[in-house]
Each structure stands twice: as structure tokens, then as C-alpha cells.
């Protein structure tokens, strides 16, 4: 009985630690997204196809991870927002690499709409001005 209780407590501790690690990774992806979107806009405006495609690819990779994060938490609408953003930034990368900067910019705006939708649904401002997940 005592061994079973200790095993359950250990399993719970490991689960909590893994959950916290996932949350820290999630925050890193989100922070990276802000800087990468700014770089993407700059590179699209400058008509720098390779740099814009690299930024879009990084965003695509981040949103792949973000989608998996939300799937693990069984939050289907957030996972879909992330998957749609991933697909959108994939299109941006292809368009930028092909030198289709107007189309790439339009596709980037469409992909970013997923960010706004998810933030509205799953983020709230705390009293101290920071943001937290709902």
C-alpha cells in the first residue's frame, strides 16, 4: 500500500514537471513569433525573398509545435488556429521564395488573423498588465 502511494506521488510530480516544461516552451514559441513576424514584415517590404521565406518557415515550425501543445491539452479550437497559422505561413514561405511579395504579404495577414482569434479566445490581461492563458 505504501509503495503504491509513493509511486502515485512520484508519477504526479513528474507529470507536473513535464506540464511546466511544456508551458515554458510554449511561452518561448510565442515570444519568438512576435520577433519573427516583425522580421517577416520587414523582409517582405524589402522584397528579400530568401530572408522572408526563412522567417515564414520558422513561424511554420513554431505553429507546428503550438498546435501539438494545444492538442495535448485537448483544446481543439486553439489547435485549429495554430494549424491554420502553420498552413498560412507555409504559403507565405512558398510565395516569398517565388518573389510574389504582394501575395505573400496578403497571406501573412491572413495567417496572423489566426493569432488574433486564438488570443481573443484563450488569453486575458492580468491586473498587473501581463497576459495569461484563460
pLDDT digits (tens, 9 = 90+) for 44-56: 999 999 999 999 9
How many domains does one find in the chain? 1
Whole-number pLDDT of residue 34: 93
Instruction: Indicate whether 7 belongs to any domain.
Output: no
Instruction: Indicate whether 2 belongs to any domain.
Output: no
Whole-number pLDDT of residue 102: 97
Instruction: Indicate whether 33 belongs to any domain.
Output: yes
Instruction: Indicate whether 124 belongs to any domain.
Output: yes
Going by C-alpha positions, the residue among 114, 90, 106, 85 that lies closest to residue 41 is 106
Reported confidence tier of residue 1, pLDDT bands at 50, 70, 90: low
Reported confidence tier of residue 41, pLDDT bands at 50, 70, 90: very high
The grid coordinates listed for 48 are 528579400
Report angle CA 69, 133, 90 to the nearest 5 degrees.
45
Percent of the chain with pLDDT over 70: 84
Instruction: Indicate whether 101 belongs to any domain.
Output: yes
Whole-number pLDDT of residue 11: 41
Whole-number pLDDT of residue 2: 56
Instruction: Indicate whether 72 belongs to any domain.
Output: yes
pLDDT at 14 over 60: no
Distance CA(72)–CA(54), nearest Å, equals 28
User: Residue 129 belongs to what domain range?
Assistant: 20-133
Residue pointed to by grid coordinates 507546428: 64
Whole-number pLDDT of residue 130: 78
| 71-97 pLDDT per residue, tens | 999 999 999 999 999 999 999 999 999
Q: What is the CATH number of the domain that holds 106?
A: 1.20.120
Amino acid at each position: 500500500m505504501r509503495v503504491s502511494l509513493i509511486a502515485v506521488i512520484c508519477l504526479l510530480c513528474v507529470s507536473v514537471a513535464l506540464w511546466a516544461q511544456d508551458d515554458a516552451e510554449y511561452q518561448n514559441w510565442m515570444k519568438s513569433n512576435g520577433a519573427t513576424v516583425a522580421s517577416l514584415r520587414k523582409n517582405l517590404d524589402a522584397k528579400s525573398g530568401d530572408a522572408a521565406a526563412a522567417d515564414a518557415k520558422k513561424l511554420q515550425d513554431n505553429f507546428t509545435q503550438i498546435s501539438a501543445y494545444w492538442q495535448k491539452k485537448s483544446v481543439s479550437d486553439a489547435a485549429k488556429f495554430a494549424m491554420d497559422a502553420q498552413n498560412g505561413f507555409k504559403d507565405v514561405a512558398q510565395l516569398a521564395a517565388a518573389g510574389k511579395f504582394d501575395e505573400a504579404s496578403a497571406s501573412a495577414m491572413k495567417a496572423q488573423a489566426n493569432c488574433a482569434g486564438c488570443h481573443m479566445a484563450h488569453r486575458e490581461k492580468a491586473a498587473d498588465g501581463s497576459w495569461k492563458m484563460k
